[in-house]
A and B are shown apart, each in its own frame.
Chain A
Amino acid sequence: MAKELMMTGCRAAAEGAKAAEVEVICSYPIRPYTAIMMELAKMVANGELNAEFIHGEGEHAQVSVVLGACASGARAYTGSSGVGVTYAMEVYSPMAGGRYPAQMSIADRTLDPPGDFGSEHTDAMSTRDQGWLLGWACSPQEVYDNTLINYRVGEDHRVMLPQMVCQDGYFISHIPDKVILGDQSQVKEFLPPYRPISPLSTTEPVSHGPQIRPDQGAPMDAARAQTFLAVPKVIEEATADFNRIFGRNYDPFVEQYKLEDADIAFFIQGAHSNTCRTSVDRLRKQGVKAGMARLRWVRPWPTHQLANALGHVKAVGVVETSTSYGGAMRGGNLVHELRASLYDLEQRPLVTSFMAGLGGETIWPADFDYMAKVLTEMVKEKKTRNYVYWIGM
Chain B
Amino acid sequence: MSNVTFTFDGQQYTGVSGESLASALLRNGVIHFTNSSYKDRPRGIMGLWVEESNALVNVDSGPGEPMKASTTIPIVEGLITRSTQGVGDLPDTRDNSRYDKSNRHVDVLVVGAGIAGLTATKKFAELGKSVILIDDQPTPGGHMRHLGTQVPAELMAVLELANVTYLPRTTVQGLYDQGYSVATQRRTDHLDANVHTEVSRIRTWHIRADHTVLATGAFQRHLVFANNDRPGIMLSHAAATYVSQGANPFKTAVVVTVDNQGYRDALRLHTAGVAVSAVVDIRETAGGASVEAVKDAGIRIVSGKTALDTAGTPTGLVSAVTIAKADGSEPESIDADLIAMSGGWTPIVHLATFIGIKPTWVPALAAFVVERNDVLTSTTGMLAGDFGGDDDAAVFFGPELTTEQALVAFVDFQRDATLRDFNRAIGAGMRSIEHVKRYTSIGTSHDQGKTSGTTTMGLIGQAIGKAPDEIGSLTFRPPYISIPFAALAGRDRGLLSDPIRTTPIHSWHESAKAPMEDVGQWKRPWFFPINGENMHAAVLRECAAVREGVGVMDASTLGKIDLRGKDVGKFLDMIYTNMFSTLKVGMSRYGLMCGIDGMVFDDGVTTRISENHWLMTTTTGGAAKVLDWLEEWLQTEWPDLEVYCTSVTEQIATVAIVGPKSRELMSRLAPDLDVSNEMFAFMENKYADVAGIPARVARISFSGELAYEINVPGSFGLHIWQAVMKQGTDLNITPYGTETMHVLRAEKGFVIVGQETDGTQTPQDLDMDWIVSKKKEDFIGKRSFSRADTAREGRHQLVGILTDDGSAVIPEGAYIVAGVDEKTAPPVKHIGYVTSSYDSAALGHSFALALVANGLARKGEKVAIPMADRVLTGVITDSVFVDKENTRRDG
A binds B: no
Q: List chain B positions with a Cβ less than 8 A from chain A.
A: none
Q: List chain A positions with a Cβ less than 8 A from chain B.
A: none
